[in-house]
Amino acid sequence: ATAPLISPQTAFDRRRTQIDLRLTKIFKVGSNARVQANFDAYNVLNANSVIGLVSSYGSRWQQPTQVLEGRLLQFSGQLTF
């Protein structure tokens, strides 16, 4: 049998903060076509917030199992005609 040490929905982790940013520029090509260029930056402040913790009691109790991904930069585009 298992017995919870902490009642459910009574203990919470700190709030996770992640800021994502997108810059877009649209260029007209010819009379009907356009190109949309995108620059995306995910987790701009490079936060390392904890997403998952070990919740079972033992030597690893409350150790992080997953943290927020590091900063990621992405370039993309779209052609519409």
pLDDT at 32: 92
Q: Mean pLDDT in runs of 10 for the chain (81 residues)?
A: 75 83 96 96 90 82 87 96 92
pLDDT at 4: 72
The token duo for 19 is 């800021």
Q: Which residues contact 34 (CB under 8 A, 6 or more apart)?
A: 26, 27, 28, 79, 80, 81
pLDDT at 29: 92
